[in-house]
Structure 1
Amino acid sequence: MNLEGVGDAVRCRAFPVTLVGPAIRWFNTLPQESITAFMDISQIFLAQFTTRIAKAKHLINLLGVTQKPGEPTRKFLDRFNDEFLEIDSLTDSVTSLCLTNGLLNEDFRKHLTTKPVWSMQEIQSVAKEYIIDEEVSQVVAANKRQLSKPPSSACPQVDR
């Protein structure tokens, strides 16, 4: 897009269209009407993101994302996806391998290993079933624990 010779208003309106990922999330948190000129937005954008250039994420960052004991699969996938979005040029096979490596949910892991390559969209679709199953199991277990507790009585029993 060539914006040479256009005014600040056009540049300011066109700027967010060029943003993705963390940059658009950052932009959306700016206070309403805090930008009065294109120079304002360009300066605060550079101040926010030039320091991040040196911290480019690599595949090794994704390999480090593992499910913690007791962590729900939903939360793990959210963390994994956040890291995945920060890394450029990942193939489906590498992403699938990294996710499978980090999973503690054995049933989900077995499902992912039945097919060598999954796209993130396919993984998210399949994950829904395992997440629902896990969440239902947690509710059932909580209900069983609640039912196994002895009932407490407000008044102690008195022998007559």
Structure 2
Amino acid sequence: MPQVEPYNGTTDPLDHLESYRALMALQGSLEAMLCKAFPATLRRTARLWFFGLKPSTVSSFEQLGRQFITNFAAGRRQRRTSDSLLDIKQREGESLKDYLDRFTAATWEVRELDQSVAMSALKTGARSYRFLFSIEKSFPADFTKMLVRARKYAKAEEAIASKRSATEQTSKKQKRRREERSRPKSQSSRWNKNQPRLKSPPRPRG
């Protein structure tokens, strides 16, 4: 059975609450069990906060959850909105793959993703001519299909870049060999070549 990482009051309380709810739902836990088991997932400041609550102030897990989020709101990270995706642009010199990785990671932070906004943001943020020409010619039916198509173009771009790099390396090696063959020999090597070879002295007869 998966476990919920203990919460110590320094991270996003909503993330912890959602993970806890999902785990308890798998076990088919009832409302009363949600409240009773919750402190077992808390540590340090968070646990002290829980045991400092007055019983009369909590009548349901929903109410407990709201108080929990309110109390630890300082640790809550800013959630992205669908419109914030419009700010993600492919940088100059950045590959389509790297751009898609950044864009996709950002969509995971959006609670309720508006697919039409996400598609518009991906289209306006991309620089890849081939990909943009493709979606202008035949616009994808949904965001998932747009991403699949974009990944295909990103893979093709990587293959082309890899082939170009290999060709450039081969050209550099060939150029280096030609330069080495055409390079004049050193003065010392020419001098040694023109000097007569010294004969060894005759052996003395015994």
Instruction: Report TM bin, short chain.
Output: 0.5 to 0.7
**Structure 1 residues 85-94 or 68-77, which shifts more?**
85-94
Bigger Cα displacement from structure 2, 112-121 vs 65-74 = 112-121
Cα distance in 2 between the residues matched to 1:41 and 1:121: 42
How far apart are 1:115 and its partner, in Å? 4.1
Q: Deviations over 1:88-130 (max 9, x none)?
A: 3333221111100000001111222334454332123212321
Q: For 1:75 and 1:42, how far apart are their aligned partners in 2?
A: 39
Indicate the SS of the match to 1:70. Answer: coil
Q: Taking structure 1 as the reference length, what is the TM-score of the superposition?
A: 0.65
The structure whose Rg is larger is 2
Equivalent of 1:40 in 33, 38, 43: 43
Contact 1:112 1:118 in 2 (8 A): no
Matches of 1:41 and 1:99 in 2, distance apart?
43
Q: Deviations over 1:34-71 (max 9, x none)?
A: xxx2233993996xx73364723223421110000111
Tell me the TM-score normalised to structure 2 length: 0.52
1:62 equivalent in structure 2: 85
SS at match of 1:63: helix
Q: 1:116 to 1:141 in 2, by over 3 A?
A: closer
Aligned partner of 1:4 among 5, 10, 32 = 32
Q: Which residue of 2 aligns with 1:20?
A: none
Percent of residue pairs bearing the same amino acid type: 20
Q: Out of 103, 108, 112, which is 1:89 matched to?
A: 112
Distance 1:52 1:67, change over 3 A: farther
Alignment CA distance shift 1:41-1:127 (3 Å): farther
Q: Which segments of 5 or more consecutive residues in structure 2 lack a partner in the other structure?
A: 1-24, 48-67, 194-206
Distance 2:84 2:44 in 1: 30
2:144 maps to what in 1? 121
Give unmatched runs, 5+ long, in structure 1: 13-36
Q: Find the aligned partners of 1:41 and 1:78 in 2 and give their Cα distance.
A: 36
Amino acid paired to 1:50 = A
